[in-house]
Chain A
Amino acid sequence: MRNTWLIAGLIVVIGAAAPFSGLYPLFLMKCMALAIFAIAFNFFTGYVGLLSIGHAAFYGMGAYFGGYAIKTYGVSTEIALLIGMMTGAVLGLLFGLLAIRRRGIYFAMITLALAQMVYFFCVQAPFTGAEDGLQRIPRGKLFGLIDLSNDLSMYYFTLLLLVLSIVVVQYLVTAPFGQVLKAIRDNEPRAVSLGYDVQRYKLTAFVLSAALAGGAGSLKAMVLSLAGLPDVHWTNSGAVILMCLLGGLGTALGPVVGAVMVVLLETELASIGVVKIGSLSLDLSTKVPIVIGVIFMVTVLLFRKGIVGEIQSLIDGYHRRRAEKSAT
């Protein structure tokens, strides 16, 4: 837990200063909502060891339901977030009941298939606004008191939620619950033989992860005043996998670093436009996925554990060598 406070402190300091560095609060908030999404994904896939390709469904439906509630019924901000989380949890339970007993690629495929069904439902359903999406979603008032329509107020609220997510998830993975998850990932038959109901542990982790993803979705809807089909599309599940692999799966900071990197790359590349290399002219803004793909491949080949993962194992190695030295 000591590390957790260090990380939380670091994020608070960087986060508090960031809006004054010339970066737009809106851009930063988008990063943070996606970072929470990545933290949610990492909590399941990083610690249970099953690959979900269905998390966009939780995120996207959280965005729609949270956004719809605040837009149509004028609920307060925290209620919209709770609705997003509930949406994620209920969907997660449905997905989980169908998929959690499967292993490896079968689990991944079932979550993908179910998420596709959710996507087609969203294309058809009237309340989602189809191609236009759900627009002009207000941010509401926190506890019905604090107006968040100002970007900076919303920014600090989002920062608070990000830090909260990190602390809660780090608490869970170091608590007995997380220890059991690690044990199950390490050696499932052994965990069974010691009396653990491993399916229920995995299912619980999946539902918690889905709930946080749904919360992140509703947060994003309020931040950008928009919930749309790209949120539920499978490529969004792909993006969150990418973030966690880039940053470092199973690490506390990896998802945050990964999310910032992906959003930065997307916006920077899109704004660079045409690049001339000799006689070759390349319009980068249309080739964002390809460039990100290449960067992704290089990173994964160079840093197998992701950026944060590699740094962490460097630090661990240093500590171990020092401990060995002092022991002799």
Chain B
Amino acid sequence: MTLTASPDQSRLKSADTRQTILEARGLTKSFRGFVAVDKVDLKIQRGGIHALIGPNGAGKTTVFNLLTRFIPPTSGNILLFGEDITRQSAHALARHGVVRSFQISATFPHLSVIENLKIAVQRPSVSPGRFWQSSRSLAHLEERAHHFLELVELKKFAQVAAGELPYGHKRALELATTLATDPKVMLLDEPTQGLGIEEVDHITQLIKRFSKERTVLMVEHNMRMVAAIADRISVLRYGRIIAEGSYDEVSRNPQVIEAYLGSKAKKENQQENKQGNKQ
């Protein structure tokens, strides 16, 4: 691990006085006896970027699934603005502004790029109980959809089916649809995985820009990117948080160094079967 950039100092200082938005208390998940997430305590503070890192299989995606209620925890609680949301449904949580992305790019492949964005921006204005609603009644949202289209420089591809986009564009579209829901907290699972250097820079800039007014929790293997933009880092190993702090603090932690060096060989192996079997 090399230190190529250090986080904005002024942001770091104010971190402790910031308000906690999302909190996990003793969050635990076991899959038929196998404990994937073990009594995790996590406080995500308003504004800025919190990175969740750790070797493959550490339980990062499972933490995301728990925080967004995609799977129920075995024990522990989740709080949003201090309110217990452990029993809420996944879609209700999204409506409260906790919106996630997925480790494998998640678009609607048979819808065009602009339709993908419309699905995101129209959500508060539609409901199944009003199935007769016309597209004309949502015309005022077009502008907003196009705004996000331009944000990720996909204007040229507006009418292309999302499934036919090159991989990098798919990830950009996914980020744009997440942004378009106007989330309070955005949970990104490896947003730069599989991207070229230029695309990584672009996505990094977008996330950084977005995080100014809102909050990002991000799983990321790209250490250069984590070092560059994360304000706070939690390190997960075998389902436990083993270190937390700034990049400097975390990268000097002997346990973290051991976790990363120790699992290096294993990681190389896992990289190959990774694409297919994760959501």
Show the binding face of A for B, using Cβ within 8 Å.
172, 174-177, 179-180, 182-183, 186-187, 189-198, 200-201, 203-204, 208
Contacts and interface: CB of A to CB of B under 8 A. Distances in A.
Interface string B254-265: 000000000000
Given A177-B128, A180-B119, A194-B94, 12 more contacts: A175-B135, A176-B134, A176-B135, A177-B132, A187-B108, A189-B70, A190-B106, A192-B94, A193-B70, A193-B102, A194-B177, A195-B124
Interface stretch (B16-24, B110-118, B224-232, B270-278): B110-118
A200 B123 CA distance: 14
Interface in B152-193: 177, 181
Contacts of A200: 128-129
**Most-contacted residue by chain B among A172, A187, A201 (CB, 10 A):** A187
B205 interface: no
A204 B129 contact: yes
Given A179-B111, A183-B108, A187-B108, A194 B120 contact: yes
The interface centre, meaning the residue of A196, A198, A204, A208 with most chain B CB atoms within 10 A of its CB, is A196
Nearest to A168: B132
B118 A193 contact: no
Given A176-B138, A204-B129, A195 B91 contact: yes
Given A175-B132, A179-B115, A179-B118, A197 B91 contact: yes
Output the residue of A186, A193, A204 with the most chain B CB within 10 A: A193
Contacts of A191: 108, 119
A322 to B, nearest CB: 15
B101 to A, nearest CB: 8
A7 B2 CA distance: 64
Given A180-B119, A201-B128, A190 B91 contact: no
A180 B125 CA distance: 12
Interface of B: 68, 70, 89-91, 94-95, 99-102, 106-111, 115, 118-120, 122-124, 126, 128-135, 138, 177, 181, 279
A86 to B, nearest CB: 17
The 3 closest A-B pairs by CB, nearest first: A195-B94, A186-B108, A204-B128
A186 B109 contact: yes
29 contacts: A172-B132, A175-B133, A176-B122, A176-B135, A177-B133, A179-B118, A179-B119, A179-B135, A180-B128, A182-B111, A189-B70, A189-B102, A190-B107, A192-B91, A193-B94, A193-B99, A193-B100, A193-B102, A193-B106, A194-B177, A195-B99, A197-B89, A197-B91, A200-B129, A201-B128, A203-B128, A204-B129, A204-B131, A208-B131
B91 A186 contact: no
Given A186-B111, A194-B119, A195-B181, A177 B126 contact: yes
B75 to A, nearest CB: 23
Nearest to A195: B94
Contacts of A172: 131-132
Contacts of B94: 192-195
Contacts of A179: 111, 115, 118-119, 135
Contacts of A177: 126, 128, 130-133
Contact of B123 (A175, A195, A203): A195
A176 B70 CA distance: 25
B188 to A, nearest CB: 11
A192 B115 CA distance: 16
Contacts of A187: 106-109
Contacts of B133: 175-177
A172 B122 CA distance: 16
Interface centre among B94, B100, B119, B126 (most CB of A within 10 A): B119
Contact of B95 (A174, A183, A190, A195): A195
* Most A Cβ at <10 Å: residue of B101, B108, B115, B177: B108
A194 B126 contact: no
A194 B181 contact: yes
Contact of A182 (B108, B126, B138): B108
Contacts of B118: 179
A180 B68 CA distance: 21
B123 A194 contact: yes
Nearest to B108: A186
A23 to B, nearest CB: 35
Contacts of A193: 68, 70, 90, 94, 99-102, 106
A133 to B, nearest CB: 34
A175 B118 CA distance: 12
A179 B102 CA distance: 21
